[in-house]
């Protein structure tokens, strides 16, 4: 049985940093303006002017993702440098305060801020979004239901935001705690079919909760406009190869679940409330904590469960051409996630958050051939 193509698209959010103060700073959309001349629409403005978002084209495999992410990071870093700025990849800035940052003038952002108020103004966070192409909406819904279980495990591998407004939060990923202030976030519910999901969306539109399904900001969603599943749970990783690894893991898990479905086999569907317990643990402890194995009904080290995932997808990675990229998860567990590495610099420098920012800036471009 040949697998569908499961094409990929990746979005990363970068922070724009002043090279002297190491604070977040507005780039006045100049990075986007300059990038548009050579990178088409792959570099976009975000709600806060200290944020730049990049997005790949549709990629046939993780090798194309790697090439595009490296190119985007390199080009955006060079444009920022020419403007006297730097870019960095961390789920939160270690010490800049959101209240000092400017909002991008845009009717859509104005509407969000008007409705969400301080929840929107304080939402100064940086994430990774991975799209995986789907053969149909019904298959997408089936896979999304199952994939919910694995979200905390991959989230633990991505943790890269231990600091917030100058404080060591005690979390490996505080980014999700900031985003939790928004409605319609977190682990999604189970839906019996795509039609069931559409009924939910239509009810929210009818009752003026949302005007379109893009205002559903779950950690995983069947995309309302593209034929993809979009994974939104991860912090933006510090290094390119970490982004490529997480992308490969999402693709491999999707392919494995599809393969099981074609063989009339399934994976146990767990309640959102249970999966949320694992998400909280992943946010707090990253890869060094324990997650719940719901089948065994016991705690298991996150690292052990991640190894089990590598075994679980072993029979699909060669066909997808992503074995090396998937197995880079072991390298992440060896060297520590972005959060682990930020905390190490923090401890070794005696709590110097400027040195943490310098480390983030260096790591952001260390493996993109800059």
Q: What is the per-residue pLDDT across 308-367, written as a single tens digit (0 to 9) for each?
A: 999 999 999 999 999 999 999 999 999 999 999 999 999 999 999 999 999 999 999 998
Residue 369: pLDDT above 90?
Answer: no
Q: What is the set of domains in the chain, with CATH numbers?
A: 8-364 (3.30.590.20)
- Note the pLDDT of residue 99: 85
Name the band, by pLDDT with cuts 50, 70 and 90, for residue 45: confident
Q: What is the per-residue pLDDT across 101-128, written as a single tens digit (0 to 9) for each?
A: 878 777 777 788 888 898 888 889 999 9
**E runs forming strands in the chain:** 8-17, 43-45, 51-55, 86-88, 128-133, 163-164, 167-168, 185-186, 217-218, 220-222, 228-231, 290-293, 298-301
- Note the pLDDT of residue 62: 98
C-alpha 341 chain-centroid distance: 18
State the Cα–Cα distance between residues 160 and 155, nearest whole angstrom.
10
Share of the chain above pLDDT 90, in %: 83
Exposed / middle / buried, residue 102 (Cβ in 10 Å: 0-12, 13-18, 19+)? exposed
The predicted model gives 220-233 an average pLDDT of 94
Q: What is the per-residue pLDDT across 136-162, written as a single tens digit (0 to 9) for each?
A: 999 999 999 999 999 999 999 999 999
Name the band, by pLDDT with cuts 50, 70 and 90, for residue 301: very high
- 3-state secondary structure labels for all residues of 112-172: HHHHHCHHHHCCCCCEEEEEEECCCHHHHHHHHHHHHHHHHHHHHHHCCECEECCEECCCC
Q: Which two tokens stand for residue 151?
A: 């979200």
DSSP 8: E
Contact criterion met (CB below 8 Å) for 187 and 148: yes
């Amino acid at each position: 049985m040949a697998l569908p193509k499961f094409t990929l698209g990746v979005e990363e959010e970068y922070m724009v940093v002043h090279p002297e103060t190491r604070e977040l700073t507005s780039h006045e959309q100049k990075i986007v303006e300059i990038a548009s001349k050579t990178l088409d629409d792959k570099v976009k403005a975000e709600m806060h002017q200290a944020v730049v978002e990049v997005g790949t084209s549709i990629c046939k495999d993780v090798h194309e993702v790697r090439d595009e992410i490296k190119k985007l990071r390199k080009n955006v870093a060079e444009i920022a440098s020419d403007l006297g700025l730097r870019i960095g990849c961390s789920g939160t800035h270690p010490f800049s305060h959101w209240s000092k940052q400017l909002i991008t003038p845009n009717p859509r952002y104005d509407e969000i801020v008007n409705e969400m108020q301080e929840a929107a103004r304080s939402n100064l966070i940086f994430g990774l979004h991975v799209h995986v192409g789907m053969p149909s909406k019904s298959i997408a819904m089936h896979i999304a239901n199952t994939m919910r279980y694995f979200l905390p495990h991959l989230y633990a591998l991505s943790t890269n935001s231990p600091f917030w407004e100058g404080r060591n939060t005690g979390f490996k990923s505080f980014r999700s705690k900031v985003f939790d202030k928004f409605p319609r976030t977190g682990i999604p519910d189970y839906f019996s079919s795509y039609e069931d999901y559409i009924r939910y969306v239509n009810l929210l539109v009818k009752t003026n909760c949302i005007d379109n399904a893009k205002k559903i900001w779950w950690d995983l969603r069947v995309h309302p406009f593209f034929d993809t599943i979009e994974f939104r749970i991860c912090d933006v990783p510090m290094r390119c190869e970490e982004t490529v690894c997480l992308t490969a893991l999402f693709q491999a898990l999707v392919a494995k679940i599809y393969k099981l479905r074609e063989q009339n086999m399934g994976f146990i569907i767990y309640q959102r409330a249970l999966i949320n317990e694992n998400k909280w643990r992943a946010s707090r402890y990253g890869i060094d904590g324990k997650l719940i194995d719901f089948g065994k009904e016991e705690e298991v080290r996150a690292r052990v469960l991640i190894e089990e995932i590598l075994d679980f997808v072993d029979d699909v990675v060669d066909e997808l051409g992503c074995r090396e990229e998937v197995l880079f998860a072991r390298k992440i567990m060896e060297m520590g996630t972005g959060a682990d590495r930020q905390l190490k610099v923090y401890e070794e420098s005696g709590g110097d958050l400027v040195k943490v920012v310098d480390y983030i800036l260096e790591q952001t471009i260390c493996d993109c051939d800059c």
